[in-house]
Structure 1
Amino acid sequence: MSDTEMMLSGYGLTLAEFTYRMPDYRSVLNTFSWQLFDLAPDYPKLFKFIEFWQENIEGPLHHVRFTHRKLIAPGEWRNCVGEFRVH
């Protein structure tokens, strides 16, 4: 499926930031950023990657922070009825 077809099917861009402990130095934290098209609110690809990380990567996860944005959505429109001018 192409990116455009995925967006029309409801997929949006998901950006995840993984903070994990270094395998040899547990007190040192490192980050890893990852982005992909995923389907909200279940996020099947993101959770599959988290399971992969926990099973195959030696550095244990400290926390995961993610955001999601649909790229094809109704445009934002605001009606402005006044204007202020400052020198």
Structure 2
Amino acid sequence: MSRRDFIVQLEGRRLTTAQIHYYRPDAPSLLQLFVWQEYDLAPDFPVLFEFLEHWRREIEAALHSVCISHEGMIRPTKWRAVDGVIDIR
């Protein structure tokens, strides 16, 4: 994890993933997917909505839907026991 990532988490931002489904004008019958990730503040998601506004203004693709996933809190990495022995020689 980079220093910036840790600092923004301490400020209350959490990793947010958005699946953006869209149509391109040259292929209107083909639904396409773009995955976006950034640290953002729930429940308002100002960074995501700024990106979506940029998309509406600058990208020639019609938005179909946006699915948002958000990690809630900082916590230690999860460890799990592995049953077995790895022999390194």
Q: What do residues 36-68 of structure 1 show as CA deviations (whole Å, max 9, x unaligned)?
A: 100111100000000000111101001111111
Q: Which has the higher contact order (CA 8 A, sep 6+)?
A: 1
Q: Partners in 2 of 1:41 and 1:8 — Cα distance?
A: 17
Unpaired segments of 5 or more residues in structure 2?
A: 77-89
Partner of 1:34: 36
Q: Partners in 1 of 2:68 and 2:43 — Cα distance?
A: 12
Deviation at 1:8, TM superposition (A): 1.1
Higher normalized strand content (fraction of residues):
2
Partner of 1:14: 16
SS of 2:74's partner is coil
SS of 1:20's partner is strand
TM-score after normalising by structure 1: 0.78
Partner of 1:49: 51
Deviation at 1:70, TM superposition (A): 2.8
Q: Partners in 2 of 1:70 and 1:9 — Cα distance?
A: 13
Q: Partners in 1 of 2:31 and 2:16 — Cα distance?
A: 23
Deviation at 1:73, TM superposition (A): 4.7
TM-score after normalising by structure 2: 0.76
Percent identity, please. Answer: 45
Cα RMSD after superposing both structures: 1.7
Q: What do residues 2-45 of structure 1 show as CA deviations (whole Å, max 9, x unaligned)?
A: 21111111110000000000221211110000101001111000
Are 1:65 and 2:47 matched, yes or no?
Answer: no
Aligned residues: 74
Unpaired segments of 5 or more residues in structure 1?
A: 75-87
